[in-house]
Amino acid sequence: MRICIAGASGAFGMKHMDAIAAIEGAEVTSVVGTNIDKIKAFAEERGVSHYTTDLAESLARDDVDAVILATPTQMHAAQTIQCLEAGKHVMSEIPMADNIEDARMVVETQKRTGLVAMAGHTRRFNPSHQWIHNKIQAGELKVQQMDVQTYFFRRSNKNALGKPRSWTDHLLWHHACHTVDLFQYQTGEVASKVQAIQGPIHEELNIAMDMSIGMKVPSGAICTLSLSFNNDGPFGTFFRYICDNGTYIARYDDLVDGNENEIDLTGVAVSNNGIELQDREFIAAIKEGRAPNACVTQAIDAMETLHKLEQCLDD
């Protein structure tokens, strides 16, 4: 499987570079960046033969079967459609779009082309959340509430590596998307009731720095999500599953019970790296000619809920 990574030298692009290197039968044959000198140096350092600042150039190559988009959020929908129209399978980092109209257009294009189009909902693949999902599917657990905190200290426009970036992040369409999708994935339902409020808008970034979200699915399970770019402390997303048969806390690829006793995740997946597991699913779906877990036709449910939440913020 020959893969192009767009945004390869960014924080998540490098995570995908490392993930592909760990997957047998897969290789990165092209990388796309915004600065020709930087992407050239990156390609030479990583041993990638082709580099460019033009995604279309990579899409025209015979040695590219599929594309992973680790580009700015605002580019995801248009680039996903561009890849599909060029006959390439594609996986976009989360979210698949930053508005519902573009998300629906992505789904329409995938259905028309029949190619694999996947959204990067990594939480579905983290072993910690997989363990919970397996218990739910087996009838051993039922979620009563998910209590989630997504916290960063990001009062200037920087990425996860602390480097300046050219685009502005968003608490709702990016960070909340992870939890909205995971809540609906774990409960197997789409939220029927939602509410959202946001704090003051940052004068320079023009985004809300704090947000509170509530959701409820028809069976009665609820989700409470707090998000902040103002939190001066440990950063990341922390999930508390309050279930009918125990409480569990997931921190990315680690899982403990409500009393901080470690849960053994041995055997849950072939890797403890959620990004690698996500990329493995993408590649397997292409090889097997099937829809992947987190296909855009599944991920659209989260986008519809985000759209409803955005309307709450507008109100």
> What would the pLDDT profile of 127-143 be if each residue is shown by its tens digit?
999 999 999 999 999 99
Compute how many other C-beta atoms are within 10 angstroms of the C-beta atom of residue 138.
Answer: 8
**Beta strand pairing call for 210-216 and 222-228:** antiparallel
Between CA 157 and CA 205 the distance in angstroms is: 7
CATH topology of domain 2-121+275-290: Rossmann fold (3.40.50)
Q: Which numeric CATH code is attached to 123-274+302-314?
A: 3.30.360.10
Q: Where along the chain do the CATH 3.30.360.10 domains lie?
A: 123-274+302-314
Query: In this predicted structure, what is the pLDDT of residue 170?
Result: 81
Helices 76-85, 100-113: crossing angle, 10 deg rounding: 10
Closest by CA position to 20, among listed 65, 55, 51: 65
* pLDDT tens string 22-66: 999 999 999 999 999 999 999 999 999 999 999 999 999 999 999
Best CA proximity match to 272, nearest among 120, 128, 91: 128
Confidence of residue 156 (pLDDT cuts 50, 70, 90): low
- Where in the chain is CATH 3.40.50.720? 2-121+275-290
Give the max Cα distance, the chain.
55
